[in-house]
Amino acid sequence: MARPTAPAPSRRRRPRRRGRRILAWLGGLVVLGAVLGVAGFATAYALTDVPDPNELADAQVSTVYYADGTTPMGTFAARNRVNVSIGDVPVPVQRAVLAAEDRSFYENRGVSPTGIARALWNNLQGGSQQGGSTITQQYVKNYYLSADRSYKRKLDEFFIALKIDQQQSKDETLQDYLNTVYFGRDAWGIQAASQAYFGKNVQDLTVSEGALLAAVLKAPSSLDPRKDPEGAAERVDYVLDGMVSEGWLSAADRASAGLPETIEPSNDNEYAGPNGYLLATVRNELESATVGLTEEQIAAGGYKIVTTFDQKAQAAAVEAVQDQLPESRPEGLQVALSAIDPRTGGVTAMYGGADYLARNRNAATQDRAQAGSTFKPFTLVAALEQGISLRSTFSGASPQTIEGFPVRNFGNSSYGRINLLTATANSVNTVYARLNEEVTPQASRDTAIRAGYPSDTAGLEDNFSNVLGTASPHPIDVTQAYATFAAQGRFTQWHTIASIDDAQGARTYTASPPSEQRFDADVMADATYAMQQVVQSGSGAYARNLGRPAAGKTGTSSDNVSAWFAGFTPQLAASVAMYQIGADGSQQTIRLGSREVTGGSYPVRIWTTFMRAALQGQDVERFPSPSYVGRAQGAPATSSSTPSPSTSSPSASPSESASPSDSPSETSSDGPSETPGQSSGDQTPTPGQDGPARQTPGGQGGDQGEDGGQGGGGGQGAGPDGGQAAGPGGAGAGPAGGPAAGPA
């Protein structure tokens, strides 16, 4: 019997030996990685230098330049800083800061691993860039006041924080932090913040005041109680409650603490004069979502900020206002001028007031005023888009009942049957009210928004009187809309910043504003041609002094509480608004000397003077020829647009009208040489309705064209809902006739 052979050696043991070798190899790698990690950590720690604490406040000045990129306009600088010792800071104030920013400050090692992990996870998930949250890390971060948000920066921050925590006491770190951190209001350090918010030294701060200063650290640009009292109060409560939970504040003291009163923010003298409005506007844009810089970065980042403001144009704006207005003028009179390059959307000039330190509300971007007849071109554009030709005719009779309400022209003057060119030049209310009825008020409103009005513009509604300018836009909104006209239908969002370079000279921002074609070129050519007639023979005839093709529209609101001229050439669009604010904040009738101010008086003179200087040396460009889109409707126009003799006669016949060569020097000391607007906005009962009379959309006061014709003022117009709606607007009659349509 054969002897059994020995079984072959099992192969199952080989994989086990191989597995053990792999584990041993991996274990070696882990050990090696740990050794290398420790070595790398130790090397990085050893090679990281701790900056001198004084360097942490060595912020660089950010400089704002005119459009040429070489002429400084002003600076944003972190100059407001005074060092104090930790002993000068009341203990409750110290604890308020700890409660707000780092409650484990005296226990941690200068860094927060959990905070770093949380920030890293947030960043990887696409959230906002975040860093460590300890006071030591924030103190270190203050040295890197730039736009750099790299992971290397965060790594450097980590090691510097570790070293600082080892090399100096916690009290020293807290002292340096409190002396270098930014509190808003251009205040760096807690002593400067105490003065900026409360007008007192840090030693005299109360618990509530300390809690507010600690609260604003989270968002200095937005948690100032003068900007957001509710947000500030919520954050102060968080700080005070944190102090209670940490045993640093008793329940009784907490019950008596809360949001303290603050003093008004003060402004640096660099904001004095008209240029202060420019700097404030630039700063707002820097902090907007479009650019996204923080207050700290702006004040200490060393940026080169090139604006769109043209130095020559800006000087022209200031000089035009100063030269054209009489030296003696009532307190509360406001003038707003803004100019936009229609091809880029850049604001080339802005007059927001005489002195930002005296009134820090920008008349051009923050105030509102009834637009008057500067609104009428929107209805004209809507009509052209619907195929209603410039040759279409309408009755210029006055008064007319439209939508159940009486509408009258200035002086109740009646025209014959006139086309839209004549109606635009003379701003005939009855024609435009009838035109608005036909195209629909909704279409007029939509056209205004597409041109540049914000959709939430005060008073911008879908009622038939909107054509008379019942909306109250910001003056810059009117300029924006007319810049769209000047660009032949292309809308480009206005802005004031062209580019930004960081402290190292690297370009970090270049303006690329939203831009799109919103109206057909043929429609714009016709609308522009109609608005040229306002300058050539209508209420804005003084603008012929510009000596180059121009188009525009006058505007005067009811009771002459606002007066406008908005106009443009192919290269530049600008508007001038004037309005009077009473001591109680209400708008009042504008009077300079014994005369009422209308759109055809001071506003058009300021506009012309400004444009002449701003465009000096530039080529004379012409507008496209009219296309006469659509089809003419209505009966043929009458041979003359002169008002019916049965109505009030104008103060001057065409032969007596002022020539375009009239200069500002020929005006009287109390205003332009023209006849004051005649009041004709008598209250008239609505047909079929008993009770109190209503104001008509027709108008009182009005534009007085430099051609000698009287322009319509805006009356208070009754809206379709029966309530009073200002029905500003109107225009001055051109050489062809006398009184023009109501409000301009």
Catalytic site residue from 62, 112, 194, 373:
373
State the pLDDT at residue 716: 31
Number of neighbouring beta carbons within 10 Å of residue 92: 19
CA distance 738 to 53: 76
For CA atoms 217, 220, 224, 229, give the dihedral sign.
negative
- Closest-CA residue to 399 (of 391, 408, 390): 408
Tokens of 85: 């010792």
* Helix, strand or coil, per DSSP, at residue 695: coil
| Inter-residue contact 82 to 192 (CB < 8 Å) | yes
Instruction: Decide if 285 is inside a domain.
Output: no
Report residue 713's pLDDT band, with 50, 70 and 90 as the boundaries: very low
| Average of per-residue pLDDT across 491-502 | 97
- Highest mean pLDDT out of 169-178, 371-380, 716-725: 371-380
pLDDT > 70? residue 192: yes
Instruction: Decide if 106 is inside a domain.
Output: yes
State the pLDDT at residue 714: 33
- Verify that 558 and 687 share a domain, yes or no: yes
Tokens of 559: 């009771």
pLDDT > 50? residue 685: no
pLDDT > 90? residue 650: no
Report residue 266's pLDDT band, with 50, 70 and 90 as the boundaries: confident
CA distance 600 to 713: 10
Residue 437 bears catalytic tag: no
The bridge status of strand 515-517 relative to strand 551-556 is: unpaired
The bridge status of strand 393-395 relative to strand 72-76 is: unpaired
- Verify that 244 and 383 share a domain, yes or no: no
| Backbone phi and psi for residue 436, each to the nearest 5 degrees, phi listed first | -65, -35
pLDDT > 50? residue 709: no
Report residue 153's pLDDT band, with 50, 70 and 90 as the boundaries: low
First to last CA, the chain: 130
How many domains does the structure of the chain reveal? 2
CA distance 372 to 563: 8
State the pLDDT at residue 7: 53
Residue 373 bears catalytic tag: yes
Place of tokens 């079929």: 688
Distances (CA, A) of 179 to 56, 488, 715: 10, 55, 59
The domain that contains 568 carries what CATH number? 3.40.710.10
Tokens of 719: 């809206």
- Verify that 464 and 606 share a domain, yes or no: yes
| Average of per-residue pLDDT across 684-693 | 26
- Per the structure, the complete domain to which residue 162 belongs is given by 79-255
Distances (CA, A) of 155 to 138, 368, 487: 13, 50, 50
| Average of per-residue pLDDT across 268-278 | 89
State the pLDDT at residue 654: 26
Which positions ≥6 away from 655 have C-beta within 8 Å?
none
- Closest-CA residue to 611 (of 669, 568, 552): 568
pLDDT > 60? residue 423: yes
Residue ending a domain, among 226, 255, 284, is: 255
| Average of per-residue pLDDT across 454-477 | 96
Percent of the chain with pLDDT strictly greater than 90: 56
| Inter-residue contact 545 to 520 (CB < 8 Å) | no
Catalytic site residue from 101, 157, 285, 706:
101
Which comes out higher in pLDDT, residue 363 or 671?
363
Tokens of 54: 């004084």
pLDDT > 70? residue 456: yes
CA distance 140 to 151: 15
pLDDT > 60? residue 202: yes
Report residue 150's pLDDT band, with 50, 70 and 90 as the boundaries: low
Instruction: Decide if 331 is inside a domain.
Output: no
Distances (CA, A) of 43 to 49, 52, 111, 159, 320: 12, 21, 18, 11, 66
Tokens of 743: 């409000």
Residue ending a domain, among 234, 255, 276, is: 255
| Inter-residue contact 717 to 703 (CB < 8 Å) | no
The helix or strand, by DSSP H or E, that contains position 499, with its residue range, turns out to be strand 497-501
Instruction: Decide if 43 is inside a domain.
Output: no
pLDDT > 60? residue 653: no
Which positions ≥6 away from 152 have C-beta within 8 Å?
none
Residue ending a domain, among 239, 255, 271, is: 255
pLDDT tens readout for residues 85-129 = 999 999 999 999 999 999 999 988 878 776 666 656 665 655 444
Instruction: Decide if 279 is inside a domain.
Output: no
Which positions ≥6 away from 607 have C-beta within 8 Å?
320, 337, 543, 552, 565, 567, 574, 575, 576
Q: Please state, rounded to an integer, the average pLDDT across all residues of the chain.
A: 80
DSSP 109-138: -S--HHHHHHHHHHHHTT-------SHHHH
Instruction: Decide if 247 is inside a domain.
Output: yes
pLDDT tens readout for residues 520-558 = 999 999 999 999 999 999 999 999 999 999 999 999 988
- Closest-CA residue to 536 (of 734, 372, 673, 675): 734
Query: Is the bond preceding residue 692 a cis peptide, omega within 30 degrees?
Result: no
- Highest mean pLDDT out of 540-554, 624-638, 660-674: 540-554
Instruction: Decide if 454 is inside a domain.
Output: yes
pTM listed for this prediction? 0.72
Place of tokens 């052979």: 5
Instruction: Decide if 273 is inside a domain.
Output: no
pLDDT > 70? residue 57: no
The domain that contains 201 carries what CATH number? 1.10.3810.10
